[in-house]
Structure 1
């Protein structure tokens, strides 16, 4: 307020206006700070960081024939003109997480086959290929939620299983890794308990709609949740083949044309 205006007013009114402005200022300032603090604390308390900005493939590496960003969603798509000879991955280049929680939402077409790889290694012989643990996802929900190890021990736990994994027999014999796989499942494993009937658990997964995948990976304990329900749980005691860190990646599986979508991709290292 200018001096000219103050001089034209009674002293009491000037004092009253000053008090009013002071109170107004005190009310507004803490509100802004409180809002900023609450937002900051929410991020810190949650502990998750976003791995996908909703606009670009920054910090991800893959074949853009199959991967793109569309309407803030990360899309993997195989068309009749771009059929794959081998599985391809979109690989996160921000590190090789060890112990972590991972959350994302996914939607997949009926003929789709995808998955979330973690603690995986890059292959030198095939571009954009990963070898390692995978949270399996498919459009018909035959496998969604299970733990499948890509290019290695194959199925470690079917949906509805808590299992302990051990090393193959005669690990020093060349080729014994593949010899320990039968009917696309690792043979040196013991089912410790049931998490529920596979078909009953399947009813908790929405077909053609968005589902949440939540992975809790700590030490040799690997847990896969879909929509908040524990679908598979393994304790990996295989000292020869298990991994404690590695790359994260999203899979587009060879096969018929299909589409898979991911959003809200987040990581919290433990």
Structure 2
């Protein structure tokens, strides 16, 4: 009888061990899958701070005829007959971070054009205008995820590219030409362009993550790395600056953001 009891106990232990091993294996596989494309982790990870108020534009500065906040959703809208003459931004008043991780969900109308600016400075010739790095967003999914530098060097990395922005050496001409910076060098392609485009949802909520660490700037959408820039241009790069969300000139449109949070790395 005692031997039977020991045998039963041993069998139970072995079953528990096999179950735990299987669970751990599945968890490791999931972590590996996520790690291939994104640094996105549990939304409850410590160190992140919410950037949006629930029902007001507290903490932000911009044109309240365009921007509104209701039930946790930030909306920027151009209505018919009220088209813009210049791009306009809602600017975060929480500081000028350098190294950080920013996460947000966005939804944009079919004809919309927007983006999240960071490490930016004010373009003082116009109200609520910024110049600097931008994680691009558009309703047609032509540019979403690329790195476009507003009012400065223009395109630094198209979607699907890992690029280096080289130092401007003596005798070297660097300029914005064909809507891209001539002193950019493509180091690598990230993924198939069609695969990246198909990872973006039309007129639905998408996850955006911006990771700025030193001279490396990475943009993720729905867990996929869309573009990455290594900025070695000491004359033009910014190591810190303002954050803002954009409504671009063009036809009537709507951009929405929610669950925006930031973790300052240094």
- Cα RMSD (Å) of the superposition? 1.8
In structure 2, the residue matched to 1:237 is: 232
CA contact (8 A) 1:88 1:128 kept: yes
3-state SS of paired residue (2:140): coil
| Residue 196 (structure 1) aligns with | 191
For the 8 Å contact 2:56–2:70, the answer to whether it is kept is no
**Equivalent residue, structure 2, for 1:29:** none
Q: Which runs of 5+ in 2 are unaligned?
A: 1-41
Mapped to 2, the partners of 1:237 and 1:246 lie a distance apart of: 17
- Give the equivalent residue in structure 2 for 1:220: 215
TM-score (norm 1): 0.80
Task: Kindly provide the CA deviation profile for residues 197-243 of structure 1, in whole angstroms up to 9, marking residues without a partner as x.
Answer: 22221000000100000011010000000001100011000010000
Deviation for aligned residue 1:54: 1.8
CA distance, structure 2, for counterparts of residue 200 and residue 86 of structure 1: 33
Matching residue of 1:181: 176
- Matches of 2:68 and 2:240, distance apart in 1: 27
Distance in structure 2 (CA, Å) of the matches to 1:102 and 1:204: 19
Q: Which has the larger radius of gyration?
A: 1
The answer to whether structure 1 residue 140 and structure 2 residue 140 are counterparts is yes
TM-superposed deviation, 1:45: 4.5
SS at match of 1:199: helix
Report how many residues are paired. 224
SS of residue paired to 2:195: helix
The answer to whether the aligner puts 1:247 opposite 2:242 as a matched pair is yes
TM-score (norm 2): 0.81
SS of the aligned residue for 2:127 comes to coil
- 2:206 maps to 211
Structure 1: tracts of 5 or more residues without a match: 1-41
Q: Compute the displacement of 1:70 (Å).
A: 2.7
Instruction: Give CA-to-partner distance per residue, 1:242-262, whole Å, 9 cap, x none.
Output: 000000000000000000000
SS state at 2:117 partner: strand
Report the 3-state secondary structure (helix = DSSP H, G, I; strand = E; otherwise coil) of the residue aligned with 2:245: strand
Displaced runs of 4 or more, over 3 A: 42-45, 167-172
1:166 CA drift (Å) = 1.5
Equivalent-residue separation in structure 2 for 1:203 and 1:217 (angstroms) = 25
Measure, in 2, the Cα distance between the counterparts of 1:150 and 1:256: 19
Task: Give the 3 Å change call, closer, same or farther, for CA 204–243 of structure 1 in structure 2.
Answer: same
Distance 1:136 1:161 in 2: 14
CA distance in 2, matches of 1:252, 1:122: 16
Cα gap change, 1:192 to 1:80, in 2 (>3 Å): same
Change (3 A) 1:197 1:95: same
- 1:197 to 1:267, Cα distance in 2 relative to 1, 3 A: same
Residues 223 and 234 of structure 1 are in contact (CA less than 8 Å); yes or no, is this contact kept in structure 2? yes
Distance 1:195 1:240 in 2: 27
